[in-house]
Amino acid sequence: MATKAYTLPSNISPETVANTSSLLRIVALALISAAAISSRLFAVVNFESIIHEFDPWFNYRATRLLASKGFYAFWNWFDPTAWYPLGRVVGGTVYPGLMATSGVIYNILHALHLPVDIRNICVLLAPGFSAFTAWSTYMFTKEMKDESAGLLAAAFIGIVPGYISRSVAGSYDNEAIAIFLLMFTFFCWIKALKTGSALFGTVAALFYFYMVAAWGGYAFITNMIPLHALTLMIMGRFSSRLYVAYTSWYAIGTLASMQVPFVGFQPIRTSEHMAALGVFGLLQIVAFAELVRSHVSSKQFRTLLYASVIGMGIVGALAIVGLTYKGWIAPWTGRFYSLWDTGYAKKYIPIIASVSEHQPTAWPSFFMDLHFLVFLFPAGVVMCFTKLRDEHIFVILYSVVASYFAGVMVRLMLTLTPVVCVAAAIAFSSLLDTYIDPSEPAPTAAEAIEDDSASQDVTKKVKKAAPPPPMGFMEFLSTLSGNTSRPRGIFGLNSRLVVLLNALGMLVFFVVHCTWVTANAYSSPSVVLASHNPDGSQHIIDDFREAYYWLRQNTPKDAVVMSWWDYGYQIAGMADRPTLVDNNTWNNTHIATVGKAMSSTEEVAYPILRKHDVDYVLVIFGGLLGYSGDDINKFLWMVRIAQGVWPDEIQEPNYFTKQGEYRIDDRASDTMKNSLMYKMSYYRFNELFGGQPAMDRVRGQQVPKAGPTLDYLDEAFTSENWIVRIYQVRKDDLLGRDLKVANAFEQGKKRKKTKPPVRRKALV
């Protein structure tokens, strides 16, 4: 009889064990959900129940309309205040899934006579869905290994910062529900593939439809599932189950995805979706060939079949290429190219490159977002290789693809996080299984064989509670060393304890890290800033809302506000004023126009402003407080985007000093000093320091002694900490003079006689 490290009680019936473990699983899942939700509430506790950042403000505004005026009003919504004077067809240019979800929840709650404010639903939607994500990750991982790995994966995804960063309370963005949909669609796909059930294929298609309606990242599913199917076929693992799962998903899912107006006919017209179509066609051919093969066994016919399958595959691929060439299928878009060539966006579409979340990921952020999962992740992938069932291939492919994408773009870290959690959970639970398992290897090989059958029986009976001993890792190790004769395993209790305590310690550190990162890095609303007073108490900096509220109260309802596009949604949401450009960056020229106005001199900018009916110009200035995300730091992107459209008038090198430095002090170039953005940022900045040299705290440079002057704009409002500055655009002079001349006259300067008065030519 084999020795045991410790004994388990043997007088418990298997039913009791099964019932208890399923109860424990439910309790554990409930606790994980609670932890996932509550760790996302730091933002509400530290600040208040407020919508965060930029895009969520638009989603919130749309949801408010949906809640107050109904779904059809939302569907047909034309927003004349965005992209003034063009307007925006919101119903057709938005992924409506998020708003529809909140609208449904809102209506259900109100039908139950729970008068919950729509804002609170929006704020708490992301934490609520994170609980669903944890559950679907549990289901997904359960298909990969077992329940205990599933619970670990659920716990990981519940608190991992990589996912929290996009789903804290108030981060009301598409990703809030999309990750749940992603994981659940993948779970349905795996389930459909495993059982060969058209039901799960249909459910996968339905959730795929929901995902298409919710997030542009649905293309990830559109390509991931075909990639999996194709890999299975290439590996010679074609089965009728694959056929059933894939075709039912694709046929229903594609038709469903075309119902979303924003997607429209793209699934059959663009190259991004062609892989799915191609694999669909290939599956039909292969399935047919398999069927024919089952009826005929003649060798000659088989070769004929294979030849025809390959031939038709090539013909199909050529047809897709030909259609692309003839313009029937749109080629890959710039966003897609920028995934392969990281320099592409900067060269051709600066507007995409200018978004900070489209930058390549820095190495530390992998550790910051994933902590110890980042080194368990490869181990989990290796374990998938040792078993290599169909679903493990999916995890392997997913991890390879997502790792690459996460390296290219910061925001795609979000799609990597679930698979990291799954793979790490597989690795971690294998470790725990191996070391909790009490059976010890027999001292000698001969003895082990002798007692094998008896010991097997006993261990089985005794430890039903623990999951079945998966020896995958050990087998893998032993095959690596090529030595299988010696007994392998863990001896004694202390070696087990050392490893288990170590593992537990990692988990504890993970929790501490996640909590710390969530509380300190990812819970800031960025609409409200926080700093600490010398005594450690929190000081709230509320300049944004102060300024937007000022706009709302002191300007006419139709006053057009110009700002850089980052603040478009916030102005629309909080100040309720028309904007020229906003975060829905669909019209590059319009954005470039704003960029040109900001980066040229007052004289050039004024006609642009007047032509666009601009009444107010809003800039963000962090120089006083040291707020680094201000417009002077974004200024070069404005220049670059404007240069893309007007290469003759705006040139990036002009904004640097002769040494090629980006400076704002005395050494700054004249173009820089005369640009509207520079003037608006530093206008009267010197006066604040009362004779002392004025210091820009973000750039760490001294502002020139003689501050800029403004002739065509008036300072209208500057917030408490100078973060938001609003300027009013002057109307034409009543006497028809140029505003510069009029200004000079008012200041009592004498006009030089030698020069004839400068009459502005065509102005407005």
Q: Does 658 bind another protein (CB under 8 A)?
A: no
Q: How many residues bind another protein (CB under 8 A)?
A: 45
Give yes or no for residue 298 binding another protein (CB under 8 A).
Answer: yes
Closest CA to 230 of 177, 296, 164, 275: 275
Q: Which stretch binds another protein (CB under 8 A): 75-83, 298-306, 593-601, 704-712?
A: 298-306
- Site residues for another protein, window 201-220 (CB under 8 A)? 201-202, 205-206
Does residue 344 bind another protein (CB under 8 A)?
Answer: no
Q: Which residue's CB is nearer to another protein, number 188 or number 619?
A: 188
**Would you call the peptide bond into 85 cis, given omega within 30 degrees of 0 as the criterion?**
yes
Q: With binding defined as CB under 8 A, does residue 237 bind another protein?
A: no
> Which among 155, 175, 156 is positioned nearest to 165, based on CA atoms?
175
Least separation in angstroms between CB 289 and another protein: 9
The answer to whether 429 contacts another protein (rule: CB under 8 A) is no
Can you tell me which of 46, 223, 308, 403 binds another protein, judged by CB under 8 A?
308
Q: Does 199 bind another protein (CB under 8 A)?
A: yes
Identity of the residue, 8 or 323, whose beta carbon is nearer to another protein in the bound complex: 323
**Integer Cα distance of 610 and 196 in angstroms:** 64
Nearest Cα residue to 101 out of 34, 175, 42: 175
Nearer to another protein, 269 or 684 (CB): 269
Nearest to another protein of 238, 722 (CB atom): 238
Binds another protein (CB under 8 A): choice among 312, 471, 507, 645:
312
417 contacts 369 by C-beta, under 8 angstroms: yes
233 belongs to the binding site for another protein (CB under 8 A): no
Q: Which of 107, 120, 223, 239 binds another protein (CB under 8 A)?
A: 239
Nearest to 575 by CA among 729, 731, 724, 355: 724
Strand partners, 701: 696
Q: Site map for another protein, 247-286, x if CB under 8 A? A: xx-xxx-xxx-xx-----x--x------------x--xx-
Give alpha helix (H) positions in 521-647. Answer: 543-554, 568-570, 588-599, 602-611, 631-645
Span from 303-311, 341-349, 584-592, 734-742 in contact with another protein (CB under 8 A): 303-311
Helix (H, G, I), strand (E, B) or coil at 138: helix
- With CB under 8 A as the contact rule, the residue among 10, 13, 300, 692 that binds another protein is 300
> Using CB under 8 A, which of 92, 196, 261, 469 touches another protein?
196
Judged by CB under 8 A, the stretch of 146-154, 182-190, 192-200, 422-430 that binds another protein is 192-200
Is residue 292 near another protein by the rule CB under 8 A? yes
Residue 479, number of CB atoms within 10 A of its CB: 11
> In whole angstroms, how close is the CB of 193 to another protein at the nearest point?
12
- Residue 680 amino acid letter: M
Are the C-beta atoms of 336 and 309 separated by less than 8 Å? no
Interacting residue with another protein among 295, 750, 752, 753 (CB under 8 A): 295
Look at residues 166, 124, 42, 48 and name the one whose alpha carbon lies nearest to residue 527.
48
Cα angle, residue 86 at apex, residues 80 and 88 outer, rounded to 5°: 55
Query: According to the binding rule CB under 8 A, does residue 363 interact with another protein?
Result: no
Among 6, 301, 367, 491, binds another protein (CB under 8 A): 301
Q: Which residue type is seen at 335?
A: R
CB 289 within 8 A of CB 277: no
**In the complex, least distance from residue 209 CB atom to another protein, rounded to whole angstroms:** 8
Transcribe 440-478 into DSSP letters: ---SSHHHHHHHHHHHHHHHHHHTSSSPP---HHHHHHH
Single out the residue of 283, 275, 280 nearest to residue 250, CA to CA.
280
C-beta closer to another protein: residue 268 or 388: 268
The reply on whether position 477 binds another protein by CB under 8 A is no
Nearer to another protein, 191 or 679 (CB): 191
Question: How far is residue 175 from each of residues 81, 631, 684, measured CA to CA in Å?
Answer: 26, 27, 42
DSSP 345-411: HHHH-HHHHTSGGGSPPPHHHHHHHHTTHHHHHHHHHHHHHHH--HHHHHHHHHHHHHHHHHHH-GG
Closest contact distance (angstroms) between CB of 247 and another protein is 4
Crossing angle (nearest 10°) for helices 631-645 and 588-599: 120
Interface with another protein (CB under 8 A), residue from 241, 488, 552, 663: 241
Q: Cα(740)–Cα(758) distance, rounded to whole angstroms?
A: 10
Residue 681 binds another protein, judged by CB under 8 A: no
Number of Cβ within a 10 Å radius of residue 168: 24
- 62 versus 252: smaller Cβ distance to another protein: 252
Q: How far is the CB of 249 from another protein (least distance, A)?
A: 10
Minimum CB–partner distance for residue 143 and another protein (Å): 14
185 binds another protein (CB under 8 A): no
Q: Burial of 271 by CB count in 10 Å (0-12 exposed, 13-18 middle, 19+ buried)?
A: middle
The 315-334 contact track toward another protein, x by CB under 8 A, reads x-------------------
d(C-alpha 488, C-alpha 440), whole Å:
9
The window from 21-29, 30-38, 291-299, 435-443 that contacts another protein (CB under 8 A) reads 291-299
What is the closest distance, in whole angstroms, from the C-beta atom of residue 189 to another protein in the complex?
15
Q: Pseudo-torsion of CA 321, 327, 328, 331, nearest 10°?
A: 60
Nearest to 6 by CA among 453, 440, 466, 451: 440
Q: Which residues of the shown chain bind another protein in the complex (CB under 8 A)?
A: 195-199, 201-202, 205-206, 239-241, 243-244, 247-248, 250-252, 254-256, 258-259, 265, 268, 281, 284-285, 287-288, 291-292, 294-296, 298, 300-301, 304, 307-308, 311-312, 315
